[in-house]
């Protein structure tokens, strides 16, 4: 038996919906990467949010199991979440940083790995983004807020 409200998906529909959201996130990230519309790292993201929050279309906060006990990181996340909420920026929590690194080709040119704990997706410089996958993510975030899930969690599947 599944006890959920009218608006909440149940059973197989919920699984299908999450699969669609996960695929949409991958599509958005792979489309944004070659356009230079990705900001990676907690400090870099904070700087970008401070300079031009209106240009940010999505904020991802990524963790693995060992990061849950990192108090400093959780404080940064809390501050970033508060800022994003105040500026109407959609936020997603992402599990599986290894998969996120694969999607974002997570290595700097010098071979050093990137800080993927916070990833911002911004509008391209020339225009605003009209991407069906981004629209799907925005709708998912809006629907989640309606269910009091202010920062929904997405589990990126292994490939």
The string of pLDDT tens digits covering residues 108-137 is 555 567 889 999 999 887 666 678 899 999
| Residue of 141, 33, 146 lying closest to 90 (CA atoms) | 141
Predicted confidence (pLDDT) per residue in 64-73, tens digit? 888 888 999 9
For each of the domains in the chain, give its residue range(s) and CATH number, in order of start: 20-155 (3.30.1330.30)
Q: How far, in whole angstroms, is CA 23 from its chain's centroid?
A: 12
Question: Which pTM was predicted?
Answer: 0.83
Three-state secondary-structure class, residue 4: coil
Predicted confidence (pLDDT) per residue in 17-43, tens digit? 667 899 999 999 999 998 889 999 999
Q: Which two tokens stand for residue 84?
A: 């994003």
Euclidean distance between CA atoms 123 and 114, whole angstroms: 21
Q: Which is it for strands 56-63 and 38-40: parallel, antiparallel or unpaired?
A: unpaired
Percent of the chain with pLDDT over 90: 46
């Amino acid at each position: 038996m599944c006890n959920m409200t009218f608006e909440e998906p149940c059973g197989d529909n919920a699984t299908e919906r999450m699969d669609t959201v996960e695929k949409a996130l991958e599509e958005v990230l792979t489309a944004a990467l070659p356009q230079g519309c990705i900001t990676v790292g907690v400090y870099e993201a904070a700087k970008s949010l401070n300079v031009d929050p209106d240009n940010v279309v999505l904020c991802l906060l990524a963790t693995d199991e060992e990061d849950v006990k990192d108090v400093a990181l959780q404080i940064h996340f809390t501050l970033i979440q508060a800022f994003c909420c105040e500026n109407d920026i959609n936020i997603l929590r992402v599990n599986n940083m290894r998969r996120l690194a694969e999607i974002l080709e997570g290595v700097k040119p010098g071979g050093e790995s990137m800080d993927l704990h916070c990833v911002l997706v911004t509008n391209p410089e020339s225009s605003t983004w009209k991407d069906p996958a981004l629209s799907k993510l925005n709708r998912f975030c809006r629907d989640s807020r309606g269910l009091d899930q202010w920062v929904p969690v997405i589990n990126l599947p292994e490939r």
